[in-house]
Amino acid sequence: MTQPIAKRFPTPAIDTLPPDIRERLLAVQEKSGFVPNVFLTLAYRPDEFRAFFAYHDALMDKEGGLTKAEREMIVVATSSANQCHYCVIAHGAILRIRAKNPQISDQIAVNYRKADITSRQKAMLDFAMKVATEAHKISEADFIQMAGHGFSDDDIWDIAAIAAFFALSNRIANVTGMRPNDEFYMMGRVPK
Per CB under 8 A, residues contacting its own copies are: 3, 7-9, 44-45, 47-48, 50-52, 54-55, 57-59, 62, 80, 82-85, 88-89, 92, 102-103, 106-107, 109-111, 113-114, 116, 131-132, 135-140, 143, 153, 156-157, 160-161, 163-165, 167-172, 174-177, 182, 185-186, 189-190
Check: CB of residue 117 under 8 Å from CB of residue 99: no
Closer to its own copies by Cβ: residue 98 or 179 = 179
Q: What is the DSSP letter of 7?
A: S
Find the shortest distance in angstroms from Cβ 121 to its own copies: 15
Find the shortest distance in angstroms from Cβ 25 to its own copies: 19
Closer to its own copies by Cβ: residue 14 or 164 = 164
Closer to its own copies by Cβ: residue 26 or 58 = 58
Closer to its own copies by Cβ: residue 26 or 175 = 175
- By residue count, the chain amounts to 192
Find the shortest distance in angstroms from Cβ 104 to its own copies: 10
Find the shortest distance in angstroms from Cβ 187 to its own copies: 11
Closer to its own copies by Cβ: residue 30 or 192 = 192
Find the shortest distance in angstroms from Cβ 68 to its own copies: 17
Phi-psi region of 52 (alpha: psi -120 to 50; beta: other; left: phi over 0): alpha
CA 48 to CA 46: how far, in whole Å? 5
Closer to its own copies by Cβ: residue 39 or 52 = 52
CA 71 to CA 98: how far, in whole Å? 10
Q: What amino acid is encoded at 121 in this protein?
A: Q
CA 40 to CA 43: how far, in whole Å? 5
Q: What is the DSSP letter of 49?
A: H
Strand partners, 178: 6
User: How many CB atoms neighbour CB 31 within 10 A?
Assistant: 8
Nearest by Cα to 128 from 115, 146, 101: 146
